[in-house]
Amino acid sequence: MHAEHIKHDFEPKIVAFVCTWCTYAGADLAGTSRMQYPSNVRVLKFPCTGRIDPVFILRAFQKGADGVLVSGCHPGDCHYMAGNFHARRRFAAFRALLSFVGVDLNRLQFSWVSAAEGGKWVDVVTELTERVRTMGPMPEFKELEHEEQWSTFAGASVDKSTVLNSPELKEAYDSIG
Amino acid sequence: MNAKANKNQVTSIEPAYYQAITEAIRKEAVQILKDETVVGVVGYLPGRRKGTASPALVTTVEEAEKLIFSPACVNNLSVYLTKAKKGVLKQGKVGIVAKGCDMRALAGLMTESQLQREDLFIIGVVCPGVYGFGVERTGTLTEANIARKCRECTVHMPEGSDVAAGTHTELADLTPEEAEEMARIEAMPQAERWAFWKEHFSRCIRCMACRQVCPFCYCEQCLCDKNRPQAVESSPRPAGNMAWHLVRAMHLAGRCGGCAECERVCPMDIPLNLLNRRMAQELKELYDFEAGLTPVEKGPLNEYKENDDQSFIK
Ligand code: SF4
Ligand code: SF4
Ligand code: SF4
Ligand code: SF4
């Protein structure tokens, strides 16, 4: 039962932060059951969704992720009793912040996937991958990584595009990396 | 200034009003130092330049007689209890002069077990407002020179303080500039919001003044100073700046008392309080939490309910 391999123009990078007790086991089950899901997803295992700091998500975006998934145990099933309840509030707040600064929340997915839900894991990952694929690469954070802020006077009427991008500076900067 | 007990709306607040508060603070500070209720009082002394004030810890009656309150008393003094003057609390009870917004910080710090109510003698100020940044300091407070945060203040009365200095007086008909600005940003298309904040954050020089002045940034080691592993790039470059600002806003969410000190000290004029306010608004909508004048059991991100909203989770 081999799904036909379709070639796409764009293969999004998806980073999945998962808890070891439920979602990781669920993803494992999907694997041992030989279910097919996009290989775009890179799984990172944590003890608990409560351990997943919003800064990890930022870092993933900065380092090239086009989409991020955070997944853990269903409410009430947390191995540490309440880690996922705390995570739920924290990520609700974080979403509001990201949206306020202009990040498209369609690139960030949260889910509860239990150790028995191999099928749900496949669905969640496939849906996120395909959604991000249609959205295209996420340039915002990556661009920041490659930008330098040469000092200009605050509010001065300097044309920043020339200040930042004089050929000499660009060449010097490129030669560093 | 009349001394009516109910609130009183005026178009300008004259130096005499602040003078009356000054007298009341002095009287109280002298009293509690004399009868040894406290070992010291954190308050404001006149600054070296005219029209300024500087925070000070006074320990003698002579010094206490020099304490002032004026529109230049912008600082949130609660930061002196968790950071700079942390040691003073160990020596006994401390008096502190607190405006309403400063009292929210004190309450938050009590919630977080950083302070104990019984260790403090709070001299509350019935505060009509303080100067904004870069305004003319004429001694009289008007719509033209009042701080942005004071335009929407809901805590003019420092309820829960040990004593309160002043009578309730406030400026009439202030436009809520911050709320309007927030609504303006919310209404922008997403790409424009990103461009707006990117421009602001790109100016940040990572001086960390906003962190140093914040009463809630009392971490012994800030996440943003850690370099093994490094979570947030520490040099002032666009990528690290964006991360720093998101981290800061997240760390203060549900804790921030809205004193706007972070924004006041920012040398690059980054509107940090808009981020604080946006987070506060979200936590109000989601969990009905508002930073108040009295401590609570737990902050909104330190507790949970089993039926919290999870419509965003699959
Ligand atoms: S926000 Fe309110 S309490 Fe704080 S300084 Fe302004 S008027 Fe005073
Ligand atoms: S005070 Fe302003 S410039 Fe300094 S680190 Fe904070 S936001 Fe950046
Ligand atoms: S930014 Fe965060 S880690 Fe740093 S001092 Fe403030 S609360 Fe602590
Ligand atoms: S984040 Fe800013 S407004 Fe909030 S408590 Fe800290 S200094 Fe005050």
**Structure-token match 């004259």, residue found:** B14
A152 pLDDT band, cuts 50/70/90, is: very low
Peptide bond between residue B215 and the one before it cis (omega within 30 degrees of 0): no
The whole-chain average pLDDT of chain B stands at 92
Helix or strand (DSSP H, E) at A135: helix A118-135
Report yes or no on B314 lying in a domain: no
* B92 plus B237 within the same structural domain: no
Domain contains A55: yes
Q: Cβ contacts of residue B110 below 8 Å, gap of 6+?
A: B116, B117, B295
- Tell whether A18 and A64 lie within a shared domain: yes
Q: What is the mean pLDDT of residues B39-47?
A: 95
In a domain, A3, yes or no: no
Asked whether residue A8 is domain-assigned, the answer is no
Alpha carbons B69 and B17: distance in angstroms, whole number = 10
Domain at A26, CATH number: 3.40.50
Rounded Cα–Cα distance for residues B149 and B142 (Å): 14
**ipTM associated with this complex:** 0.91
* For residue A5, pLDDT beyond 60: yes
* Structure-block tokens of residue A101: 């600064």
Tell me: do B208 and B279 sit in the same domain: yes
Q: What is the pLDDT of residue B83?
A: 78
pLDDT score of B290 more than 70:
yes
Number of Cα atoms under 13 Å in the Cβ half of residue B11: 0
β-strands A14-19, A67-72: how paired?
A: parallel
Do both B128 and B32 map to the same domain? yes
In this prediction, residue B2 carries a pLDDT of: 41
Nearest-angstrom CA–CA distance, A176 and A77: 49
Say what the pLDDT of residue A157 is: 47
Say whether both B214 and B140 belong to one domain: no
Beta-carbon contacts of residue A17 (< 8 Å; ≥ 6 apart): A44, A46, A49, A52, A56, A57, A60, A68, A69, A70, A71
Of B5-9, B242-246, B265-269, the poorest mean pLDDT is in B5-9
In tens, the pLDDT along B92-140 reads 899 999 999 999 999 999 999 999 999 999 999 999 999 998 898 888 9
Shared domain for A128 and A71, answered yes or no, is: yes
pLDDT, tens digit, 9 for 90 and up, residues B150-161: 999 999 999 999
**Predicted structure pTM score:** 0.89
Quick: pLDDT tens for B44-99: 999 998 889 999 999 999 999 999 999 999 999 999 998 766 777 778 899 999 99
pLDDT digits (tens, 9 = 90+) for A62-120: 999 999 999 999 999 999 999 999 999 999 999 999 999 999 999 999 999 999 999 99
| Any B CB within 8 A of A95 CB | yes
B277 and B240 within one domain: yes
Residues enclosing ligand 1, CB less than 6 A? B 99-101, 127, 129-130, 147, 149-150, 153, 155-156
Is residue B142 domain-shared with residue B202, that is, in the same domain?
no
Number of domains in chain A: 2
- pLDDT tens for each residue of B223-236: 999 888 888 999 89
CA-to-CA distance for A27 and A45, rounded, in angstroms? 11
Residue from the list B191, B202, B279 with its beta carbon closest to the beta carbon of A149: B202
In a domain, A9, yes or no: no
Distance CA A87, CA B308 (A): 11
Pair A104, A167 in one domain: no
Clarify whether residues A132 and A64 are in a common domain: yes
Percent of chain B with pLDDT strictly greater than 70 = 97
Partner residue facing B312 (CB), from A55, A92, A144: A92
Listed residues B171, B205, B224: the one ending a domain: B171
Q: Look at residue B303 and tell me if it is in a domain.
A: no
Residue B224 belongs to some domain of the structure: yes
Suggest the residue from B196, B204, B242, B266 to mutate for an interface test with chain A (most A CBs closer than 10 A).
B242
Kindly give the interhelix angle for B238-252 and B272-287, rounded to the nearest 10 degrees: 40
In angstroms, rounded to a whole number, what is the distance separating the alpha carbons of residues A94 and B262? Answer: 20
Residue B117: give the domain boundaries: 7-171
Least confident of A57-61, B22-26, B171-175: B171-175
Instruction: Domain of residue A32: give its range.
Output: 14-138
Residue B3: the pLDDT is 40
More confident residue, A71 or A163: A71
Given this model, what pLDDT does residue A3 score? 57
